[in-house]
Amino acid sequence: MGSPSAPLPLARLVGIGLVVFLANAALLVLQLVASRLLAPFIGSDLYTWTGIIGVFLAGIALGNAYGGRIADKYPHPRTLVGLLMGGALAALWMAVFPVLLAASGAHTSIPLGPRIPILAAILCLPAGFVLSLLTPVSIKLGLPDVSSTGRVSGLIFALSTLGCLIGNYVTGFYLVPMFTINSLVYVAAGLLAGTAVASWVVLQLDPPRENEPAPQEPGADAPGSPPTTNLAAFADIRHAYAIVFLASFCGMALELAASRYIARHHGVSLFSWTGVIGVMLAGTCVGNFVGGIIADRVNRPGSGWNPRMVLGGLLVLAGGLTILILVTRPILERGEAFATDGLVTQIVMWSFVLFFAPMAVLGTISPQVIRLAVPDAAHVGRVAGRVYAWSTTGAIAGTFATGYVLISGLGTDRTIIVATAVLALVSLTVAPVWKDNTLLYLLSIVLGGVTGGVILTWGEGTAEPNTVVQRDSNYYLIRVTTKLEPLAAGDEPDPVLEGDPDTAGYKVLHNLNLDHLLHSTVDVRRPTYIYYKHEEIQIEFLRAARKGNDAPRTLLIGGGGYTLPRAAMKLVPGTRMDVVEIDPEVTNVAYEFLGLKKHEHHRDVNMDGRQFVAEVAEKGSYELVIQDAVNDLSVPSHLMTKEYNDAVKRALKPDGAFLLTIIDSVEHGKVWRAAMATLEKTFKHVHLLASSEPPAAERPADPKAAAEYDERFAYWSAGRQVYVIYASDKPLDLAGLKAATEAVVPRPPAYWPTAKAAALGPAAMTVPEVPFFTRQVAPSVLEPFLAKEPGVILTDQYAPIDNLMAEVFRRRNQ
């Protein structure tokens, strides 16, 4: 079944392994910064991310496929050196291309749909392709003979995954807040060039083996040598490709499902993404290493193992661990697992408990398939490259299929069930696992879990009591739930609750939850109902805009529950409002369940807000631009930069205003400081507004009053709340806002008396005063915080928003 094992060349493996580790770390840095480099030209949404990730994976697949040929033809350290230098040049191209694009404006002539893959391919494909040529070359250089194929390929894959893991963490947590985006590109290019120089010096000390036998056709034996044909090998190499393709497909489905599960309970942030990706990469890394050891041991002559049966058994085990996620998750939820730990610990532990084991088992598949597919050492580069290429192609298919179809069409739980079923079916094509009693028992449990999961989730319409609808979109888990609230003065009784003495005096409200965040609370029957008070500030600015124009134009970025558009159509008649919401399913839910109606003055647009402002919005056309696109601890960085603010200003009329909604803590937060400092680079007047009363501008002289002031000041500044930042070339006119509010007709129907009250006489017809909500936080109140730590200027090259939110994130739930 193979020639006797040659000792592994440890010194050479250490050097080659370090090259692979550093090259993949650099590749991950480039992948993370690619979205920031392209955001000004294609926005930052699902299509952008999938386009960039898809192009990088395509480059990796092509690089591995073609790199196998290079490895077999040029198995020399000089090949590594040349590829590393080529990777450094490809990295530098990523800094040059956006500059050329901005200078020429060529991207504006391409429609946004095709523009995303075209620009992503031009920017990312060279680096992905060149750096991926290294993997099969490294395996070839580190392989003493075919009997070590599993260990060597598993080690190289493990080190490449570890490089990605370290690159992910170091870039996200340390490099992004320290360097501009172009500087990170230069760091990656320098790392590759430095590795090339070191490889030239060090690896030259261990020259390639001389007088190697000439390459043979796969399956042929060298004359006079022991047979090298693997009796357990696949009869058709395409079978091997199919196995790794489907295993990687399921692995990517698990990764996307993991991100959705974590978002439901812990929100979306830098920490949630890095936690999930880190655990998945760690599982893959361990699996690659262990899988290589397993592959070589079970393929030894006289080992007593059937390698195909071992591979099939591990696929069944991966399926069993995958379906177990559906059992483990409710246990974690109901038991409030890790609830006393910090949020970062919770994210990592949830990800580890649910997904580490299945990813680790899936990681063992590729090294075993390569070991079964490699006929001799002469062809290891080509076979390993092609197997890894097909594995990457499976990851590409898994990314697009899961992101665009499975999660939005089936839901996250059913996506897990589909992945389990695929793994079980693949195992049946690898070996007759039903002939082994243990594997047959495990397979029966897996298939039973799939059947039970289908039965339990089929036709599932609600996840919790009072749930009206639950849908997985390409961006969120969207849930609409109901709750009761006492009737306000003048509210008509809710027909749904009539006749029930327990609900007399109440009305039904609908909550829109995006992942775990309560995003909006809507009164379907009363469009003027506003739950979040910062929207009252927005309404007051709409009223002021209408004083000078009977039909003011307003742009709202972030639709959410569409409470502001519904209220505006009633409270500020004549307002023309364009609403840009990135998730079309959120808009659909608003129309179906949240009382949103078509209106001639209301236009819906489903696209990235930056692309709308930069390319769709007419210059000088809006009296007011309102940005309400925050989602708990996730703030779109490309909507916070100076370049974006400049684009907003071009869309505004000369005396127009920009209202930016943020959620932050004045004492501990850094986002409000950065946002105000950045806006001051574009607009003459920038002020922080609050809907609740902020501390007075001056501290009282009386000791008792001063002590009360200090206590209230400390409580107010430490709390995390919603603020609105006013930015305009026109001074803030609070008196004009208040006058505009006092001049309006009281809002119907909440403040109008019922017909029954009207019959009671003039006393019942008294209309309450319309409250005024906009309050400016005095500069003197903010001054000590800004003196201690001024805000950084956010640009397209430097916008570490997630890092700026880190302190607030760490303090949450602690």
With 0-12 / 13-18 / 19 or more C-beta atoms within 10 angstroms meaning exposed / middle / buried, residue 340 is exposed
Whether 340 shows a pLDDT value over 60: the answer reads yes
**C-alpha 210: how far from its chain's center?**
49
Q: Of 628, 632, 664, 802, which residue is the catalytic one?
A: 628
What local confidence, expressed as pLDDT, does residue 492 receive?
A: 73
In this prediction, residue 740 has a pLDDT band, given cuts at 50, 70 and 90, of confident
d(CA 669, CA 692): 18
What local confidence, expressed as pLDDT, does residue 309 receive?
A: 92
C-beta neighbour count of 14 within 10 angstroms: 12
User: What are the pLDDT digits (tens) for 750-761?
Assistant: 444 444 445 445
Q: Is the bond leading into 573 cis (omega within 30 degrees of zero)?
A: no
* CA-closest candidate to residue 651, choices 602, 603, 605, 616: 616
> Do 171 and 243 belong to one domain?
no
Answer with the residue of higher pLDDT: 233 or 433: 433
Span 644-649, mean pLDDT?
96
With respect to residue 435, please indicate whether it lies within any of the assigned structural domains. yes
Cβ-based neighbours of 772, under 8 Å, separated by 6 or more: 540, 737, 738, 741, 742
What local confidence, expressed as pLDDT, does residue 37 receive?
A: 92
How would you classify residue 647: left for phi > 0, otherwise alpha for psi between -120 and 50, otherwise beta?
A: alpha
In this prediction, residue 184 has a pLDDT band, given cuts at 50, 70 and 90, of very high
What local confidence, expressed as pLDDT, does residue 217 receive?
A: 40
d(CA 408, CA 402): 8
Cβ-based neighbours of 810, under 8 Å, separated by 6 or more: 342, 343, 344
With respect to residue 311, please indicate whether it lies within any of the assigned structural domains. yes
With respect to residue 485, please indicate whether it lies within any of the assigned structural domains. no
Q: Please, are residues 446 and 422 in contact by the beta-carbon 8 Å criterion?
A: no
Whether 664 shows a pLDDT value over 80: the answer reads yes
Span 243-252, mean pLDDT?
93
Q: Which residue has the tokens 């700026």?
A: 804
* CA-closest candidate to residue 726, choices 688, 671, 755: 688
Q: Please, are residues 507 and 546 in contact by the beta-carbon 8 Å criterion?
A: no
With respect to residue 225, please indicate whether it lies within any of the assigned structural domains. no
What local confidence, expressed as pLDDT, does residue 145 receive?
A: 66
What is the number of domains present in the chain? 3
What local confidence, expressed as pLDDT, does residue 43 receive?
A: 84
- Domain residues for the domain of 671 are 528-811
Q: What is the mean pLDDT of the chain?
A: 84
> Do 181 and 267 belong to one domain?
no
What local confidence, expressed as pLDDT, does residue 96 receive?
A: 95
With respect to residue 93, please indicate whether it lies within any of the assigned structural domains. yes
* The dihedral sign for the CA sequence 198, 199, 201, 206: positive
pTM: 0.82
C-beta neighbour count of 503 within 10 angstroms: 15
First-to-last alpha carbon distance for the chain, in angstroms, is 59
> Do 53 and 201 belong to one domain?
yes
Write down which residue in 398, 432, 453 finishes a domain.
453
Give the CATH number, domain containing residue 125: 1.20.1250.20
With respect to residue 469, please indicate whether it lies within any of the assigned structural domains. no
Answer with the residue of higher pLDDT: 658 or 368: 658
What number of CA atoms fall less than 13 Å from residue 65's CA on the CB side? 12
What local confidence, expressed as pLDDT, does residue 337 receive?
A: 75
What local confidence, expressed as pLDDT, does residue 748 receive?
A: 47
Span 625-644, mean pLDDT?
86
Most confident of 300-304, 339-343, 395-399, 539-543: 539-543
In this prediction, residue 499 has a pLDDT band, given cuts at 50, 70 and 90, of low
Residue 628 designated active-site: yes
Write down which residue in 433, 453, 473 finishes a domain.
453
> Do 335 and 384 belong to one domain?
yes
Whether 654 shows a pLDDT value over 70: the answer reads yes
Give the CATH number, domain containing residue 333: 1.20.1250
Cβ-based neighbours of 145, under 8 Å, separated by 6 or more: 3, 5, 6, 377
What local confidence, expressed as pLDDT, does residue 219 receive?
A: 41
What local confidence, expressed as pLDDT, does residue 205 receive?
A: 46
With 0-12 / 13-18 / 19 or more C-beta atoms within 10 angstroms meaning exposed / middle / buried, residue 697 is exposed
What local confidence, expressed as pLDDT, does residue 760 receive?
A: 46
> Do 534 and 638 belong to one domain?
yes
Whether 498 shows a pLDDT value over 50: the answer reads yes
User: What are the pLDDT digits (tens) for 606-626?
Assistant: 999 999 999 899 999 999 999
In this prediction, residue 461 has a pLDDT band, given cuts at 50, 70 and 90, of very low
With respect to residue 770, please indicate whether it lies within any of the assigned structural domains. yes
Whether 395 shows a pLDDT value over 80: the answer reads yes
Cβ-based neighbours of 436, under 8 Å, separated by 6 or more: 309, 313
Span 274-285, mean pLDDT?
86
User: What are the pLDDT digits (tens) for 206-233?
Assistant: 444 444 444 444 444 444 444 444 566 7
> Do 185 and 258 belong to one domain?
no
> Do 200 and 238 belong to one domain?
no
Element (H, E) at 325: helix 307-334
Whether 69 shows a pLDDT value over 80: the answer reads yes
> Do 328 and 195 belong to one domain?
no
In this prediction, residue 501 has a pLDDT band, given cuts at 50, 70 and 90, of low
- Both tokens of 758, joined, read 């009207």
What local confidence, expressed as pLDDT, does residue 755 receive?
A: 47
With respect to residue 332, please indicate whether it lies within any of the assigned structural domains. yes
What local confidence, expressed as pLDDT, does residue 744 receive?
A: 67
d(CA 374, CA 389): 15
d(CA 659, CA 640): 12
Q: Please, are residues 209 and 12 in contact by the beta-carbon 8 Å criterion?
A: no
Percent of the chain topping pLDDT 70: 87
Percent of the chain topping pLDDT 90: 41
Most confident of 172-186, 220-234, 676-690: 676-690
> Do 675 and 759 belong to one domain?
yes
Span 368-374, mean pLDDT?
86
* CA-closest candidate to residue 379, choices 159, 236, 244, 228: 228
What local confidence, expressed as pLDDT, does residue 1 receive?
A: 39
Element (H, E) at 604: strand 602-605
Q: Are strands 477-486 and 602-605 parallel, antiparallel or unpaired?
A: unpaired
> Do 34 and 83 belong to one domain?
yes
C-beta neighbour count of 429 within 10 angstroms: 12
> Do 244 and 132 belong to one domain?
no
Q: At what angle do helices 365-373 and 380-401 cross, to 10 degrees?
A: 140
C-beta neighbour count of 334 within 10 angstroms: 8
Cβ-based neighbours of 499, under 8 Å, separated by 6 or more: none
d(CA 811, CA 342): 8
Whether 315 shows a pLDDT value over 50: the answer reads yes
Decide: helix, strand or coil at residue 188.
helix
Residues in the chain: 814
Q: Please, are residues 626 and 555 in contact by the beta-carbon 8 Å criterion?
A: yes
Whether 238 shows a pLDDT value over 80: the answer reads yes
What local confidence, expressed as pLDDT, does residue 465 receive?
A: 72
Whether 403 shows a pLDDT value over 60: the answer reads yes
> Do 252 and 310 belong to one domain?
yes
What local confidence, expressed as pLDDT, does residue 216 receive?
A: 43
User: What are the pLDDT digits (tens) for 111-169?
Assistant: 888 898 899 999 999 999 999 999 888 888 887 766 777 788 888 888 888 898 888 88
Most confident of 270-279, 480-489, 716-725: 716-725
**C-alpha 270: how far from its chain's center?**
8
